[in-house]
Chains A and B, each alone.
Chain A
């Protein structure tokens, strides 16, 4: 009974809260007011029921955290499967085979969506180096993505350079941008770094939008060629499949690289930097150099992804590189679980594919997207699949 009263209170509060915006619509030109009382009813009902679920989940979460305090590091089944080769090998091989067969099972349209998802996997893993592993909050990651995309578009437009030539150039350019930005700003503490990188991202976008002679302004650049296959020109369908396999290859390379970086001297230094900067320096780690390496490497992947993105869509304009993109990529990293490769991949697929397949609710897509971000953070702040520290096996090798 008390629960019902509480939910009633919640529902009244929300009905009151949403009253002006949900119910009244003013047309300032016609000078008419439209009243939509039915909306109020929906809000009331929805919040009444949702408040039950909310309280239930909060309660469950609290119980869970109590358990964690008393026990040791709780490792879920999923984490265990991922970290033991015996279980994960068959799963990974199955996924791999499925991904290989994918373009032959479904339409070009679906393949295109999958390419987008894979691009975001790459971006997520790249940003994961910066945010997840090194703990540097970068809100302007999309700028490096833009650098890659425009590098291909412009170099192709002016000098007719091909995809394969520009791919490394794009990565390199993005890395150089990362270093140029990193040198002045990496001294800043967490949140200041966040806002400066955000500012940098916006500056790049605004320059692209306004400097018409250089970037063709808001109208963007069209007719960017798709990558050629040993000089052959491919049709749209073949090109899509070709890019798809290219993306699979790039993703595998990315996973490989991030994995290696993570388990190296450099990767450990990044982790330590995330944990405690003062202790890090006292242990002989050069803070600037290590941070710059993270920034540059992260940017490189964005650069690669940008080149591929330009080649895939054949048209780019500044509107593709807004802050929302940065926010989505960052959400992928945090949602997946900071520093966790598998988590990031899973999150990238969820974030990109779900909205695509939710087109039925197309209008509500972004609304649900925002709500989902909040809910996942509230109920699973450590991410979908938190990273597990590596265990070293060598022990008892007596000398």
Chain B
């Protein structure tokens, strides 16, 4: 039972991170129908920024909690700036181009950013300081769920709530929903679509950075390549849940997290990634629009 719970919470932690990254994919896809391949790299840059902030701060002798908070804030801010810039350079000039062009541009951007970090920082795995403190009250259940796992789950939950409130009630949130439904119509109704797209990238990137800081601190090491596999998994999560749907991204992330956790725990750890993709293929075959996605019949 303990083992089951351990896997359960492990899956929940993983799933939360996937969900955080998946939100960026799903929001961007909802609005401009682009698989933003560079999104995984934004997450990786978030993790690196946090590493740098943590390094500088610990030299200044700050305590753990304030380092964690500073690292989260600064890396979210920087990732958002990167997301914004990437959109302006690689996607905005391609608004009316053939469908595949932005995708290739995104793949190029992803390769570029990976190598940028590789050259400016390092190609090796870098140990990442554990920024999340060990809580005393977690001691009795430590074999099931670590402190950092608790923090990840709680922080993710809070971020989700804030995001859904933001999208539901703010003006720009409404504009985002309108743009996702029909970009042309939103434009005609006076929505500044360019701004909506920018905001979408900024929010998505900030969330990815949040995920990056949390998971890096949990796992304890990063390198320039972590964005790729995390990005693909998160995209898988977004598709699983039904791309374009925000609750879908969260659900997809959790389903994926649990699948991986239980499959590696009970079956074999060699095929961790295979399970994720098999799950994806199976779900898409039986529910082609994802778990929460709507199948919209094409109007003829």
Contacts of A20 in B (CB 8 A): 48-49, 52-53, 74, 78
A192 interface hit (Cβ, 8 Å): yes
Please count how many residues in chain B sit with their CB below 8 Å of the partner chain's CB atoms: 71
Nearest CB on B from A334, distance (A):
5
Residues in A neighbouring B185, C-beta threshold 8 A: none
In the complex, which residues 20-77 of chain A have their Cβ closer than 8 Å to any Cβ of chain B? Answer: 20-22, 24-29, 31, 33, 39, 58, 61
A161 within 8 A of B: no
Give chain B residues whose Cβ lies under 8 Å from the Cβ of A278. 298, 300
Specify which chain B residues have a CB less than 8 angstroms from the CB of A96 in the assembled complex. none
Interface flags, A173-213, vs B, CB<8A=1, else 0: 00000000000110111111011101110110011001000
Known A278-B300, A367-B119, A374-B109: A28·B236 in contact at CB below 8 Å = no
Chain A residues near B112 (CB-CB < 8 A): 367, 370-371, 373-374
Q: Which residues of B contact A184 (CB under 8 A)?
A: 281, 285
Say yes or no for A81: interface residue by CB 8 A criterion. Answer: no
Q: Is there contact, CB below 8 Å, between A373 and B108?
A: yes
Whether the pair B115, A367 counts as a contact (CB closer than 8 A) is yes
Q: Say which one of A85-93, A103-111, A162-170, A376-384 lies at the interface with B.
A: A376-384
Q: How far is the CA of A13 from the CA of B81 in the complex (A)?
A: 9
Asked if A256 CB lies within 8 Å of chain B CBs, one says no
Q: Contacts of B239 on A, CB cut-off 8 Å?
A: 192, 195
Number of interface residues of A (CB under 8 A): 63
A370 in contact with B115 (CB, 8 Å): yes
A353 within 8 A of B: no
| B273 and A374 contact, CB distance less than 8 A | no
Stretch at the interface among A112-120, A236-244, A287-295, A323-331: A323-331
26 CB contacts below 8 A, A to B, read: A20-B53, A20-B78, A21-B52, A21-B116, A26-B52, A31-B58, A58-B93, A131-B100, A137-B103, A185-B281, A188-B284, A191-B35, A195-B235, A195-B236, A207-B271, A334-B101, A367-B119, A369-B111, A370-B108, A370-B109, A370-B115, A371-B112, A373-B105, A374-B109, A377-B97, A381-B101
B contact set with A: CB distance below 8 Å? 29, 33, 35, 45, 48-49, 51-56, 58-59, 74, 78, 81-82, 85, 89-90, 93-94, 97-105, 107-117, 119-122, 126-129, 228, 232, 235-236, 239, 243, 270-271, 273-274, 276-278, 280-281, 284-285, 288, 298, 300
Sorted nearest first, the 6 A-B pairs with minimum C-beta distance are A373-B108, A26-B55, A370-B112, A370-B111, A199-B277, A381-B97
